[in-house]
Every structure is written in structure tokens, then in C-alpha cells.
Structure 1
Amino acid sequence: MTAATEGRTMHSPPHQHGQVPREDSGHGSTQDHGRHDGGTHQAVHAARSVAAHRAAVRELLAPLRSTDRTETLPLRAALGKGLAQDITATVSLPPFANSQMDGFAVNTADLPDAGAELRAVAAVPAGAVPARLEPGTAAPIMTGAMIPAGADAVVPVERAVPDRFPLADDGSRENKVWLPATAAGTFVRRIGSDVQVGELALAAGAFLGPAQLGLLAALGIPEVTVYRPVTVLLVTTGDEVVEPGQPLEQGRIYDANGTLLESAMRQAGLTVVRTAISTDKPKELRALLRAEGPAVDLIVTTGGVSKGAYEVVRQAMEGQQAEFLHVAMQPGGPQGIGTFDAVPFLGFPGNPVSCLVSFEMFLRPVLAELFGSPAPRMPVRARIAGGLSSPEHKHQVRRGSLRADGTVRLEGGESSHLMHALAGSNALVHVPQGVSALAEGDEVEVWML
């Protein structure tokens, strides 16, 4: 977002993109009610691309990536966080050469092509420091145990004759073992073969899952510096919206957006401050934002961002450094972005699927990129079960179920109110801008939910 566009309402040319669909328009009507920019000149612009809007969201939130927003936590408390600093290996892994198998530590010079019978010496358990291996001997060794000096390979016990560890250590026949020829380095984990001391172990921005925390523990690191979770003020708007559990009068609907978005945000590691449903009175919404906004990092609203006559979020943002525009995406085209009293602000559409798609397309990936948490959605390729059509000038996001055979079945239609179809889905199906139709069996990109 540039200085030239801040504080301005943005609209797509009607002849190019048509009327904003009602399913994306939030809680108001689709009628264009003119200015919402506090008197600044209203320009007409083409719809912004998905990539450009995601970049604008990143620019808005980038200042939150600062050293004063970090904390140091013990490893057990850091699961799901994003690493704030590079981690250099303080020891090599493994810290000493060790056995990859239960077997016999040998010097391969003692084993000619035909193999040889060697004398078994004292066993080497894990955690012990073994004596040097003498020529003509083999040391029974356990998995993970230190390779004795003088040994350069391990022969698995099942390849020995007899294929068991000797019971005696007195020079008797029971103490002898035949072993086949073996190449140097066989079944030996070299010191530092995983990571060398001084090497970069984890880069800042890494998502700390079980594997990453296990690596830090293996390096002997007891605590780690991570980014503090972003705190979001989540505001649902609309006179017609009722909290679940309350009586449902005619013309009213239950609020799905609050629960849907709060759950998605908490699952992504955000701290969510949830307010009561805001009315369609701009003055009341402004008062709510001024009361709650100073304590949070980001304000997210749902509804009231389109071109109808009662778009409360747009009206409440008059005089603020915020813009309202159309992104070339279906669902979720109408978007708001900017600041409210210097607090970063994102305005999502009011229909449930639209607001979730907005979160998944813009906020979640930006948080992953900036802070390492949540883990990014990894794209996978699937074959579509049944064809589809898509508006060529938009990036369409459909709900689907990825199946074990590598196909994805669409759930429900294009409309953004279809919560039942969303609940029956496990993936988002992406149809990029410029594609107007796909046939059965065509490949698509899907993001697992």
C-alpha cells in the first residue's frame, strides 16, 4: 500500500469485473453508495491480484517483526512457535563415532575376502568408553555405543557365525566368531555426520515442531528465543447477526464468522481478543476499536467492507489510513487494509467461507513468512474428480476433499455461504487467474486444511 492509495476507496471497473457478488459483499447490499474516503478523490482501479494484496498485507505487518516482540522459553513451551534467532550447533551430532547396529566392531584389515574368525573381547554398551580394539579381535557392540579406537566398521550380529554374541570371555571356542569381509565405514555413524559443531542448525523463522525441538534438545540447548504470538482483535459486525444460543428472530442469522475465524487463528498460534458482535452503527464500532485497539497488534473485522449502503466498517474507517478494494479472487474479493489509529487493520468479507479464505490466502501465509508460525500450508498436486468452470479474471478457491487415490472432489458450489460444504472439506482447491475451465482428471493445486 502506497501513500497515494492510503485513505482511498478502491473499486474495480464495472465493465471489466461486474457487480460484486452478493455472496462476497458482507452483510450489506451490493448497491454502490458512493464515497467512503472522508472526502478524498475516489479513483477507479482494476482489481488487485492475490499476490499483490498478500504483499500489501506483508508490508502492513512487517513492523511487528522486531526484537522487542520476542521471548525466551523452555523447549517444552516452544512447540508451534517461530524461531527468532539463528541457532548454531554447540556440539557435533553425533558427538562421537557410534554403531548403527547391534553387531561386532572390527578393523576391516582383519577380514579378508573370505572372511575370518576373530576373538571376541569385552562388549561395548551404550554410554561406555571402550578400550582400544587390538588386531585380530572383534568387540560386541550395541546400537549407539562408541566405536573403539582401532575399529573402522561394524558387522551386524545376524551376519556372524554363530549369529549371537559370545557367552564367554576366557579364550574358549565360545569366544570365537566368524565374520565376513566388510568395507570400512559400514554401519558406523561418523562424528558430525548429521551436523558439525559451529554449523547453522536452525535458521531464524523456522517453525518449531517436534523434529526441530528434538534437534535443539540433542544439541543440549534447554531454551530458545521465539516470536511472541500476534494478538488479534476480532470483530464481527452486523445488526442481523446473533450469538449462538440466543433466540433467532426472523431476518436474523447466527454468527458463524466469529467462531470460525477465532478457531482458525488460535489453531495458527495467534492470541485472539474476541468482542461482542458490533452493530451497524459506525460510531459504536469506532468506540469499540478505540477501546480495544491499543492493547492488540492487529485488528480484523468481518463484514461491512463491500459497496452496499450499510457497510459499517468502511464508514467507521472514514478519516483513517485505510483503503477498501477488490481483489481478483472468488470468494473473498472485497477487502479492507490499512490502520486504525495506527493499529494495523484488515477487513474481511462477511460471508463465512469468504472470511476463512481471506485468512488462509493473506493473513496465515504472511504470519508464517514473517514469524515462522504457523507452519505454511504445503501445496500438493491432485487430479480433479469432475470438471469445473471459473471466472478467468479471478483466482478461484473451492472447497474439496482430497482422497487416498490422489483425486480431489469438490464440495458444494461456488457460493461463499456454504458452511456445510466447508465442514465436509479437508482442502482448498486453487484455480489460478487465467484459467476458465478444468476437465475431469486435470491437475490442480490443493492446500490441506
Structure 2
Amino acid sequence: MMSTTVDIVPAPLRTVDQHRCAIGKLGITAKARSVPIGDAVGAVLAEDVVADRALPAFDNSAVDGFAVRAADVVGPERLPVRLLVSACSVAGRQPAPLHVRSGESVQVMTGAVVPLGADMVVPVEVTSGFVETFGVEEVTIHSVDSRSNVRSRASDFEVGDVAVRAGTVVTPAQVGVLAALGRTRVLVESAPVVAVLSTGSEIRAVGTELERGECHDVNSAMLVADLLRCGADVHLEPAVADDVNACRAALARCAEVADVIVTTGGISAGTEEVIRLALRGHDVEFVSVAVKPGKPQACGKVEGTPIVCLPGNPVSALVSYELFVRPVIVAASRNPQADRTMRTVRVDGETVPASPIPRVMLGVVDGESAAIIRSHSVGALAHANCVIVIPPSDGGLGPPGEYPAWMLDSVASTRRGTCI
């Protein structure tokens, strides 16, 4: 048994919105990561990609043909015209700069450097055709049009131009731009990494044989399943017993790898609440929130990493997660398709004891009507498909009544995170 005690100082109840605001101020975001450009497809750029070179890097031909001086060929009185073919420019091969003088041309291939002095490339299709002997043979040009067929240096990007902006969802087309600029890697927004930690000496990993007084780690399994569906990556830390040093070590491991830590259990007003004890001295605020279930809550930072601490009862943990954690993770994941569907449901024939604070209760929706699940045991999770918000009241809830609810089975997103 732990001999350490912790002082519990009563504080005014915090509203749900106030606690949401406190969690929002923690700055829960996903860190950008560097990936090979081929792996960036579908990801969101986390940086402006700035051209560090001109693109194209040189004047090049858009067609196969002959580089000429426009003054030698433009004008009907000049056509047809015969020009000496002085040399050939081939893409990727040009040992020395080529020049086009008046009365001459240079045979040029698509993508090859346009010789100095040339300001037009005449397509081979409107000429007498390519030659084999340079400096001797001539080409006859039959017609020209207004197009230069020259891709000018820096016509796509000058040095310093933003080629692809941050926030762009990368497609294979943008990968082509990155490759053209010589980029091999790029920063993209990643999924947030959420570390999940359950506490309690009675908690055992799912699948292990249980002794008397033990139970499986329901909370981790439940939260991890939905975090992955939100698009987050998850680090599942093995559950820790009610041992302060073991809990501190587990929290330190989580802080090293995660963008946010989510714990369950160990935050109530008892003398052996391990999360409370382990987080003494850290910038973590333990509060009572005006909501049932889920009154005890905590949030803050551990070694610079945001942490949100939820109650240990599975129903309380689920309701608290839905209220305080899930919206932040969906936002950090930039995955709005994972948002819950909100709707109004009609509750008939139910009574709920009066409460001066809101109640957030599991329910079962069938069509437009809903029934409240009163139990806070694990069995309640088997049938719940919604969470119903009951406002504070002086009397019981009586029929008929319409109340806001969010649907637990309403997620359209196909994005999934990974366990890391």
C-alpha cells in the first residue's frame, strides 16, 4: 500500500465549456515529419516548398524542329526559306554553347537547350525534315505561326518562388514538381500521436487470465479503438499498478513519444489516487467539472507534453473522452469526417433524478426515439449507440422530451491511424 498522501483542496465546479477551453489551451497538435516525396501523396504539406533554382533552368525547346531567328522566317514574303543547319542540340547533351546566326538554324530536340541567338523553334513537321550532315545541309521552312515553341528559363518558377504552398494535399502531380526542384523529402503534417495509459493494481492486459479482484483493461481497448478511427496514431503504454514510481516512469515514456497523453483512473479524491500522486509538482490541474458522470478531471503538461486525465470507470471514461478528448484529436488529425453526428432525440417515459448539473448519459436510439441506459457498468456499453445530454433541472425528466445527442456509430471517415 502507498503511504504517500495528497492534499485535496475543494474547488468551485468548472463548467464543461471551461474545461474544454483549458484543454484547448494546451496546444494539442501533431508534429510535422519529413518523408520521401513519394510517400507524401495524400498528406498535407507542413511547409511552403520554395524553389531554390529556376525552373526550367534554361531555355528549352517544346518541340522537335529547328531553332531559328524569327527575323529570318517571319513574314509571308520570306517563305519558303532555306537555312543552313549548323549543328544539333539534343536533350542532355551539349558540350559547348551553340549559337544561331542570321541565315542559319540549329536542329533541336524536345527538351534540349535552345541555342543563343534563337528566339523561335519551327516544328519539323512544317519543314523539309531533319538532316544528317551539319554545316553542309540546309532545311526548307514552309510555314510558321505565332508560337515560339520555346519554354523560357524560369517561366515556371524563379528562385524564391513558392512552388507548392503549405496546406496543400499532395497529389502525384505535386510530387512531379518536387522532383523537378530536386527535392527528395518534404515536411508533411502527421497524425497526432496519442499515448494511452490505464492505471490501477486490478487492471490486467486483455487476454490474460484473471485472478480474484482483477479485471481486463477495458478503457485502453475502448479508447485506442476510437482514436485509431479518428486518424490518430496510438502508443499504448501497459497499464500500471497503484505505484507512484512506476506511474511516473510510464508517464515519462509517454511524454517522450506522444503529442498528448490520455490517462484513465487515479484522479478522484481518494488517498491512493496514483495519477494525482505521480503528477505532483507538474503543471497539471485537478478539477471537478459540472457533469455527471465524469466529475473528476485533470489536464496540463508533463515534461512539456499535454496530458488529459479521465476517470477510471469505463462509462465515465467514455463519456469524458467524448466530451473532452475526441474533438481535440479529430481537429489535430485534420479529419473532419471523423466528427460525430449530432441530432435531437425524443426521450419518452423516462425519469431522471433531479440534478443541478448536466448529465451526459448513454442511450439507445431507435428511429427518432431514444431510451436512457441508467447503468454505469461495463454492460451498459454493449447496447449504447448514442450519448444524450440532459440539462440541469429541479425535477425529474418526464415525457415527452427532446434532447441533444451525438451518435457513437456515426463516423464516415475511412482514415485510420496506426499503433506505434
Q: Secondary structure at the match of 1:307?
A: coil
TM-score (norm 1): 0.55
How far 1:387 moved relative to its partner? 1.9
Identity %: 31
Task: State whether residues 72 and 226 of structure 1, in contact with CA within 8 Å, keep that contact through their aligned partners in structure 2.
Answer: no
1:394 aligns to what? 357
2:204 aligns to what? 242
| Residues 3-33 of structure 1, C-alpha deviations (whole Å, 9 max, x = no match) | xxxxxxxxxxxxxxxxxxxxxxxxx9xxxx6
Higher RCO, Cα 8 Å, sep 6+? 1
Task: State whether residues 30 and 190 of structure 2, in contact with CA within 8 Å, keep that contact through their aligned partners in structure 1.
Answer: no
Q: Of the candidates 48, 52, 59, which is equivalent to residue 25 of structure 2?
A: 59
Equivalence map 1:40-439=2 (5 Å): 42=9, 44-62=10-28, 64=29, 68=32, 78=42, 227-374=189-336, 375-404=338-367, 406-410=368-372, 412-413=373-374, 415-416=375-376, 418-434=377-393, 436-439=395-398
Q: Partners in 1 of 2:382 and 2:189 — Cα distance?
A: 31
How far 1:325 moved relative to its partner? 0.9
Task: State whether residues 205 and 371 of structure 1, in contact with CA within 8 Å, keep that contact through their aligned partners in structure 2.
Answer: no
Q: Secondary structure at the match of 2:329?
A: helix
Task: State whether residues 236 and 258 of structure 1, in contact with CA within 8 Å, keep that contact through their aligned partners in structure 2.
Answer: yes
Q: Secondary structure at the match of 1:276?
A: strand
How far 1:364 moved relative to its partner? 1.2
Q: Partners in 2 of 1:297 and 1:71 — Cα distance?
A: 19
Gaps (5+ residues) in structure 2?
49-165, 177-185, 409-420
How far 1:319 moved relative to its partner? 0.8
**Equivalent residue letter for 1:360:** E
| Residues 332-370 of structure 1, C-alpha deviations (whole Å, 9 max, x = no match) | 111111111111111111011111111110111123345
Task: State whether residues 304 and 350 of structure 1, in contact with CA within 8 Å, keep that contact through their aligned partners in structure 2.
Answer: yes
Task: State whether residues 70 and 228 of structure 1, in contact with CA within 8 Å, keep that contact through their aligned partners in structure 2.
Answer: no
**Equivalent residue letter for 2:224:** E
How far 1:221 moved relative to its partner? 7.4
Q: Partners in 2 of 1:286 and 1:438 — Cα distance?
A: 44
Check 1:251–1:65 CA distance in 2 against 1; reply closer, same or farther (3 A cut): closer
Task: State whether residues 304 and 311 of structure 1, in contact with CA within 8 Å, keep that contact through their aligned partners in structure 2.
Answer: yes
Check 1:248–1:371 CA distance in 2 against 1; reply closer, same or farther (3 A cut): closer
Q: Partners in 2 of 1:403 and 1:347 — Cα distance?
A: 33
1:209 aligns to what? none
Q: Partners in 2 of 1:245 and 1:370 — Cα distance?
A: 32
| Residues 269-317 of structure 1, C-alpha deviations (whole Å, 9 max, x = no match) | 1111112210111111111222342121111111000111210000000
Task: State whether residues 203 and 217 of structure 2, in contact with CA within 8 Å, keep that contact through their aligned partners in structure 1.
Answer: yes
Check 1:445–1:76 CA distance in 2 against 1; reply closer, same or farther (3 A cut): farther
| Residues 152-193 of structure 1, C-alpha deviations (whole Å, 9 max, x = no match) | xxxxxxxxxxxxxxxxxxxxxxxxxxxxxxxxxxxxxxxxxx
1:156 aligns to what? none
TM-score (norm 2): 0.59
| Residues 191-216 of structure 1, C-alpha deviations (whole Å, 9 max, x = no match) | xxxxxxxxxxxxx999xxxxxx9xx9
Q: Partners in 1 of 2:276 and 2:396 — Cα distance?
A: 34
Q: Number of residue pairs matched?
A: 279
| Residues 91-131 of structure 1, C-alpha deviations (whole Å, 9 max, x = no match) | xxxxxxxxxxxxxxxxxxxxxxxxxxxxxxxxxxxxxxxxx
1:444 aligns to what? 403
Q: Partners in 2 of 1:347 and 1:383 — Cα distance?
A: 32
**Equivalent residue letter for 1:351:** N
Task: State whether residues 383 and 444 of structure 1, in contact with CA within 8 Å, keep that contact through their aligned partners in structure 2.
Answer: yes
How far 1:54 moved relative to its partner? 0.6
Q: Secondary structure at the match of 1:280?
A: coil
Quick check: which has more Rg, 1 or 2? 2
RMSD: 3.4
**Equivalent residue letter for 1:394:** I
Task: State whether residues 268 and 373 of structure 1, in contact with CA within 8 Å, keep that contact through their aligned partners in structure 2.
Answer: yes
